[in-house]
């Protein structure tokens, strides 16, 4: 290796020293990337009361553990026993609509949530939804 520095390298070095541009902090860029930590729960077969308790605990625990995406599978209600209850619409499943409504009406849970969104086909489609959680402070 030689100790001689080329004129091109000298110019590059001088330009670097005279420039006021900040250097990017690669460590900071790495830390700022969000890694998706996902968890899912299947509520098939649960009563509405039990499903509400379970989902409340599931969201709170996941939030405390730093999980940021939840997949909640409720099913489409095709096999539910709605037809036995004259006060429930035969066209609506119990959990599919009631669980998101329960979450949205619970202020403590909504403080932990960024967004509730319909799931993609591969995660359950119409029988599931996503909950995106905030970071715990």
Pair 129, 117: CB distance under 8 Å: yes
Q: Which residue has the higher pLDDT, 17 or 114?
A: 114
| 64-87 per-position pLDDT tens digit | 999 999 999 998 765 555 555 544
Identify the structural domains of the chain with CATH numbers, from first to last.
32-133 (3.30.1370.110)
Q: Which residue has the higher pLDDT, 26 or 42?
A: 42
As a whole number of angstroms, the distance between CA 135 and CA 64 comes to 9
Supply the pTM of this predicted model: 0.66
Residue 93: what pLDDT? 56
As a whole number of angstroms, the distance between CA 121 and CA 126 comes to 8
As a whole number of angstroms, the distance between CA 125 and CA 76 comes to 9
Measured CA distances, 15 to 6, 10, 43, 44, 50 (Å) = 14, 9, 62, 65, 67
**Which pLDDT band holds residue 25 (cuts at 50, 70, 90)?**
low
Q: Which residue has the higher pLDDT, 13 or 107?
A: 107
Whether 2 has a pLDDT exceeding 90, the answer reads no
Whether 23 has a pLDDT exceeding 90, the answer reads no
Look-up: residue for tokens 């077969």? 45
As a whole number of angstroms, the distance between CA 51 and CA 102 comes to 10
């Amino acid at each position: 290796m030689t100790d001689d520095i080329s004129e091109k390298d000298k110019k590059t070095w001088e330009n670097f020293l005279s420039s006021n541009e900040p250097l990017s902090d690669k460590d900071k860029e790495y830390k700022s990337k969000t890694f998706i930590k996902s968890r899912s729960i299947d509520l098939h077969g649960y009563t509405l009361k039990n499903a509400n308790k379970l989902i409340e605990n599931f969201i709170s625990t996941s939030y405390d553990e730093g999980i940021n995406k939840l997949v909640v599978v409720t099913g489409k209600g095709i096999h539910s026993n709605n037809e036995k209850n004259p006060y429930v619409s035969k066209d609506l499943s119990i959990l599919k609509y009631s669980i998101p409504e329960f979450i949205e009406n619970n202020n403590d849970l909504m403080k932990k949530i960024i967004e509730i969104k319909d799931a993609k086909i591969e995660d359950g489609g119409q029988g599931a939804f996503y909950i995106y959680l905030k970071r715990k402070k």
